[in-house]
Amino acid sequence: MPEGDPPLTLRDLDQIPVSRLRGVGDKKDAALAGSEIRTVLDLLTRYPRRHLDRTREASIGDLQPGEEATVVGEVRSSRTRQLRGRRTLTEVVIGDGGHQLRLTFFNQRWREKQLTSGMSVLVHGKCDTFQGQRQMTGPIVDLVGDQTGRIIAVYPQSEKSGLLTKDLTRFVEEAIARCRPRGLDDPVPDGVLDRFDFVDRAAAVFGIHQPESMAEVAEARRRLVFDELLRVQLELVRRKRRIERETTGIAHEIAGELTDRFLARLPFPLTGAQQRAIGEIGADLELTRPMHRLLQGDVGSGKTLVAVHALLTAVQGGYQGALMAPTEVLAEQHHAGVTVMLGDLSVPDP
């Protein structure tokens, strides 16, 4: 790529079809499309489902009966035999040096073709023994190819689509190699990154796929989770702004005798936080745009009081208000509490 090109944005990545990556022919392109991976953005945001730390993986010789474990081994043999009632049993033997582990699969004849001699596989399951030999029945199997790194990224894969971890790893490596020279644009300001100790977007995306350590995985995941939550919040703000632009609400008169009498009959003075919440809600109620607010507070902090004050603001202007609760029990509790709070407070019939 020419020097001086700006960092790639997510929109840029979404414009690059995966078919432009080396090794993606027509067959793999169709398989990727079947898994909803059509662009480089789709590929780089198809995150690993887990990571295997090869410095902590179990060896076959260390497996104990009844233990769940993940091991990596080389396929040594595979065969399928017919059982009664048209059932089949496929037995695959893997090894890691001087020890062997038998994998058994019922009615999965295709495993014999999938797991061929010399192939490196990652296996997760519960170990038991049969005829004095360690075995796992129906384990999760991932084809990891010839990856030799300390941390192996394991991707969601499907026999139906024909996409395996080793395929996705190869395509992701190619995509990252093409992206590295320009890097990835990061819309989050440096001040925010520093404040929350986040890595930048490029470090997060590249690190989740090609980590050097599990600590790097954790840092990458933390940043990517933040990005996802940030996108959700931005979309909610966008929708709120659109509703405010397109919808006309009622401009209420916040000063009135009813709310004054309500506050005067309270057996305690308002706290500073209660006064501030009432003031902010009142400022919104004076506007013609609809109000959308989330009132948050500890138990007993006066949230119901603030809500009732807002309802009375509407009532004293000749409008109505409703306090809704998610359950009948909570609705009854609110009714009892608000009834006591209002006491003999009343308004004349219209």
What local confidence, expressed as pLDDT, does residue 264 receive?
A: 93
- CA dist., res. 171 & res. 177, Å (int): 10
- CA dist., res. 307 & res. 315, Å (int): 13
Between residues 254 and 149, the one the model is more confident about:
254
- Identify the band that residue 102 occupies on the pLDDT scale cut at 50, 70 and 90: very high
All structural domains of the chain: 10-50+158-226 (no CATH), 56-148 (2.40.50.140), 257-342 (no CATH)
Phi-psi group of 22: left, alpha or beta (phi > 0 → left; psi -120 to 50 → alpha; rest → beta): beta
pLDDT in tens, 39-97: 999 999 999 998 888 767 778 998 999 988 888 899 999 999 999 888 999 999 999 98
Average pLDDT of the residues in 257-278:
94
Residue 230 has pLDDT above 90, yes or no: yes
Alpha-helix runs per DSSP H in 247-349: 257-264, 272-285, 303-315, 328-342
- CA dist., res. 232 & res. 238, Å (int): 10
What local confidence, expressed as pLDDT, does residue 145 receive?
A: 65
Residue 301 has pLDDT above 70, yes or no: yes
Sequence-distant (≥ 6) Cβ neighbours of residue 115 within 8 angstroms: 75, 78, 92, 103, 121, 141
- Structure token digits, residue 19: 């078919």
Lowest pLDDT segment from 140-154, 251-265, 316-330: 140-154
Lowest pLDDT segment from 24-28, 165-169, 215-219, 270-274: 165-169
What local confidence, expressed as pLDDT, does residue 140 receive?
A: 83
Average pLDDT of the residues in 206-225:
96
Average pLDDT of the residues in 197-201:
98
Virtual torsion, Cα 176, 182, 186, 187, nearest 10 deg: -130
What local confidence, expressed as pLDDT, does residue 43 receive?
A: 97
What local confidence, expressed as pLDDT, does residue 146 receive?
A: 58
Sequence-distant (≥ 6) Cβ neighbours of residue 291 within 8 angstroms: 249, 281, 284, 285
Q: Which residue has the tokens 């006309």?
A: 248
What local confidence, expressed as pLDDT, does residue 217 receive?
A: 97
What local confidence, expressed as pLDDT, does residue 244 receive?
A: 81
- CA dist., res. 344 & res. 157, Å (int): 67
What local confidence, expressed as pLDDT, does residue 46 receive?
A: 96
> Is residue 121 within 8 Å of residue 139, measured between CB atoms?
no
What local confidence, expressed as pLDDT, does residue 1 receive?
A: 44
Residue 148 has pLDDT above 60, yes or no: no
Q: Is the pTM of this model over 0.75?
A: no
